[in-house]
Structure 1
Amino acid sequence: MSADAAAAAPKEPGWGSKAFAVLQRIGKSLMLPIATLPAAGLLVRFGQDDMLGRFHTTAVKNTALILATAGNALLSNLPVIFAIGVAIGFAKKSDGSTAVAAIVGYLVYHAVSMQMFLGSALKNQVQSVVVKDAAQDVNSAVQVGGLRLALDLSKPNPTGVLGGILVGIIAALLWQRYYKIKLPTWLAFFGGRRFVPIITAVACLFLGVLMGWVWSPIGQGINDLSNWITRNSSVGLFIYGTLNRSLIPFGLHHILNAFPWFQFGTFTNATGTYHGDIARFLNGDPTAGLFMTGFFPIMMFGLPGAALAMWRSAMPTKRKVAGSILISAALTSLVTGVTEPLEFSFMFVAPLLYVIHAVLTGISMSLMWGLGCKDGFNFSAGLIDFLLNWGKATKPWLILIVGPIYFAVYYGIFTVAIKVLNLKTPGREPDPEVDELAPA
């Protein structure tokens, strides 16, 4: 190959680019399991004592119990839901066998890792029980300090959704590698897609053993981080809120959210044990909501204020077109808490504004904690979730006081920055130049 040809050949992407691409794929794959949360949240919420459960009619109370049970069935099984969703979303191609492989893999991983935890310092987390009679040993048991302890596989796995995410990634990678594999004739029945659940089960067996060995320090580290943020909430929540918005352009914010929303903290009530800010809040944990409350002033008030500033700063000839985009995006943010349409309208054309937006989000997270306000959501921090969870929140009325202040702050900062720095937000783009045709 000549020197010119070698120079013209495309360069192989570096390890940093490859790692970033993998993280983006993981972030996108988390969207599918996260999409189950609104259904779970609505079912749990309507089934609680301050909603349908407050009625004394037997039929209504039974309906409330059924709804809450259905919702908690989803919240209690988030790890396997994440395993399936990540497997389908992470694989470049996928079909039903990808989901089957994820289910098989998670069942094996769950049983093996729980068995490992039973004989370790984490035995209390797997809710082991004393077995008085060998006939009662329906699962498996180990001898610990003269007591025979049995394993209850119905209890939550200490690794939570992180274990499900790892299983999903493994299932996806193995599916991509082996879904077309050809085996010898006498094993041909197990070739192709049928081979994937088998190899996934084997891989997840080793993953379960590995996690049984290493999870103790990892889990302790996650708990320590959660406790540190709880003790130093003003700093920790500011960092979290700022990072949350800063990672959106790269599609990595879902990875950041997975830990506080689905992993941090433990709450146990009569219906079960729940991990993560969302499940704990929906099931009545009075300490939950740290990682959600600060988003309400931003999504319901701040970003609509930014939209109004951009609309009023648009050129008169383009204000109508800009308004149709910005107003609809602002309403989407206000009502549902979906902010991407509005954020992407200025994220790349005015990155300084986006940096300001990220910092203001971090400040909001710290501020709402400092005021003692705790609120949560099933889907996002929009008006629907705000009204639905009013009865479960602590001091939710503070959001109605802080929110308008944030609206004014966003409107003022965006207006001044756009006009002083001549930022090309929607409606301020230069008109395309048209070349005049020379006479023939």
Structure 2
Amino acid sequence: MSSTATAAPAKKRGSGLFQGLQKVGRSLQLPIAVLPAAGILLRLGQPDVFGPKGLGWDKVASVFATAGGAVFDNLPMLFCIGVAIGFAKKADGSTALAALVGFLVYSNVLKAFPVTDAVVNTTANKGVDVAATYNNPGVLGGIIMGLLAAVLWQKYHRTKLVDWLGFFNGRRLVPIIMAFVGTVMGVFFGLIWEPIGEGISNFGEWMTGLGAAGAGLFGLINRALIPVGMHQFVNTVSWFQLGDFKDATGAVVHGDLNRFFAGDPTAGQFMSGFFPIMMFGLPAAAIAIAHAARPERRKAVMGMMVSLALTSFVTGVTEPIEFSFMFIAPVLYAIHAVLTALSMAITWALGVHAGFTFSAGFIDYALNWNLATKPWLIIPIGLVFAAIYYTLFRFAITKFNLTTPGREPEEEIEDITKA
């Protein structure tokens, strides 16, 4: 090797941590993808659909409600398994098994540390049994257990033991390790979760107490983190952890999304304002981008943008539109982030309470209409934001000569065509 050979560039400090956090964010998408199915089942089980206020098929409604509830009731376990599979390299069934074993042990060990003891048939409680309550780290605990399972699986799934323990080599070893890890984590959370849980609860009360400002702050942070792929962190905490509500059965549910579908009339703070943006604002931005394209490219760009606009309106999937200008025209993305914050704040200030299981598109909007408060207001609010988006995007693109789709330099288009 030549003495003049250049050394490999040193890794920037923090880049490994940043990439790891991005990977965690991406792994959260797998369990979240299950929610639309659960949301549809739960919605069909509501009284106004198949229940007594709808078709009157009570048994059918009960089947759908319990089917959807099975997913929502076990979200921590689903996040544990989903994160383990999504985070581990070349994960397989043994990764999921290790995560499940660890979670089941961890979950049961938590019950060795009751916060309040069970009370059975006493005069004080008028003969009503009261179940014991336990520390419940919820989805956060599931995510931590999933990450531990992924890391330990990657480290030990090829480990070879001594010959007489050969049966437990490799993949069979990791679930055993996770059983002990689950025990330790159960004891750990059982002892220290109460102050942490109170801290999260207090933070949730502070955020919800901010009202419209809190909703706007969440919207701004959510959009600001999308370019680096870390928005799922704030989404997971806000939708599945912040805020508490006791449902009709007496069970306590956590998080804006869970509370909305459990019937909490105060829920929806961190979801409602996305509907005007995803159904109206971003589709209008897509049309503005098409109209700002050069005449010879306008037809092709319009076809693409109309398709993306329809996707955003119907399903609430906005990434295709956002990534069309996010990096080539950051000023447009800054405008988009601020407008999202305004939509979140205004929608909440006007008393709109809406929710979704997948995203803030027309499908969720129509499906959950009867669960929402003032859902009709989303349409006029959305039309106003559509006009604002179109005007600001069209002005910024032409004023600053931004190279949005259809405005690329000629030589760039020729290179793409020849490639």
TM-score w.r.t. length of structure 2? 0.93
Structure 1 portions without partners, runs of 5+: 134-148, 436-440
Cα distance, 1:338 vs. partner? 0.4
Cα distance, 1:3 vs. partner? 6.2
Q: Provide the residue aligned with 1:413 in structure 2.
A: 392
1:113 aligned to which of 110, 113, 118:
110
Cα shift readout 1:381-415 (whole Å, capped 9, x = no counterpart) = 00011111111111111111111000000000001
Cα distance, 1:96 vs. partner? 0.5
Q: Determine if contact 1:290/1:374 at 8 Å carries over to the other structure.
A: yes
Q: Distance in 2 between matches of 1:332 and 1:430?
A: 28
Q: Distance in 1 between matches of 2:305 and 2:288?
A: 10
Q: Determine if contact 1:76/1:156 at 8 Å carries over to the other structure.
A: no
- 1:40-79 matched pairs, under 5 angstroms: 40-54=38-52, 60-79=57-76
Aligned partner of residue 267 in structure 1, secondary structure? strand
- 1:5-404 matched pairs, under 5 angstroms: 5=5, 8-54=6-52, 60-116=57-113, 118=114, 123-124=115-116, 128-130=117-119, 158-271=136-249, 272-404=251-383
Cα shift readout 1:153-190 (whole Å, capped 9, x = no counterpart) = xx785201000000000000010000011011111111
Q: Distance in 2 between matches of 1:227 and 1:279?
A: 16
Which residue type is aligned with residue 90 of structure 1? Answer: F
Cα distance, 1:266 vs. partner? 2.0
Q: Distance in 2 between matches of 1:57 and 1:334?
A: 29
Q: Determine if contact 1:114/1:151 at 8 Å carries over to the other structure.
A: no
Cα distance, 1:312 vs. partner? 0.6
> What RMSD over aligned residues (CA atoms) do the two structures have, in Å?
2.1
Q: Determine if contact 2:48/2:54 at 8 Å carries over to the other structure.
A: no
Q: Determine if contact 1:106/1:164 at 8 Å carries over to the other structure.
A: yes
Q: Distance in 1 between matches of 2:167 and 2:200?
A: 44
Evaluate the alpha carbon distance shift between residue 39 and residue 345 of structure 1 in structure 2; reply closer, same or farther with a 3 A threshold. Answer: same
Cα distance, 1:273 vs. partner? 3.2
Which residue type is aligned with residue 99 of structure 2? Answer: A
Cα shift readout 1:1-52 (whole Å, capped 9, x = no counterpart) = 87633xx222342441011111111011111100110011101111101111
Q: Provide the residue aligned with 1:142 in structure 2.
A: none
Q: Provide the residue aligned with 2:125 in structure 1.
A: none
Q: Distance in 1 between matches of 2:58 and 2:396?
A: 55
Q: Provide the residue aligned with 1:146 in structure 2.
A: none
Q: Determine if contact 2:245/2:259 at 8 Å carries over to the other structure.
A: yes
Q: Determine if contact 1:309/1:414 at 8 Å carries over to the other structure.
A: yes
Which residue type is aligned with residue 258 of structure 2? Answer: A
Cα distance, 1:55 vs. partner? 5.5
Which residue type is aligned with residue 21 of structure 2? Answer: L
Q: Determine if contact 1:297/1:402 at 8 Å carries over to the other structure.
A: yes
TM-score w.r.t. length of structure 1? 0.88
Aligned partner of residue 381 in structure 1, secondary structure? coil
Q: Determine if contact 1:46/1:67 at 8 Å carries over to the other structure.
A: yes
Which residue type is aligned with residue 331 of structure 1? Answer: L
Cα distance, 1:151 vs. partner? 7.8
Cα distance, 1:212 vs. partner? 2.3
Q: Determine if contact 1:91/1:175 at 8 Å carries over to the other structure.
A: yes
Cα shift readout 1:54-97 (whole Å, capped 9, x = no counterpart) = 36766x22111100011011101000000000000000121101
Cα shift readout 1:251-310 (whole Å, capped 9, x = no counterpart) = 111111001101112222234432211121112111110110000010001001101111
Which residue type is aligned with residue 249 of structure 1? Answer: P
Evaluate the alpha carbon distance shift between residue 322 and residue 229 of structure 1 in structure 2; reply closer, same or farther with a 3 A threshold. Answer: same
- Percent of residue pairs bearing the same amino acid type: 53
Report how many aligned residue pairs link the two structures. Answer: 407
Q: Distance in 2 between matches of 1:131 and 1:10?
A: 69
- 1:417-432 matched pairs, under 5 angstroms: 417-432=396-411
Q: Distance in 1 between matches of 2:134 and 2:386?
A: 42
Q: Determine if contact 1:330/1:342 at 8 Å carries over to the other structure.
A: yes
Q: Determine if contact 1:44/1:67 at 8 Å carries over to the other structure.
A: yes
Which residue type is aligned with residue 118 of structure 2? Answer: V
Q: Distance in 1 between matches of 2:329 and 2:158?
A: 47
Q: Which deviates more from structure 2 when the two are superposed, residues 211-220 or residues 102-111?
A: 211-220
Evaluate the alpha carbon distance shift between residue 4 and residue 213 of structure 1 in structure 2; reply closer, same or farther with a 3 A threshold. Answer: farther
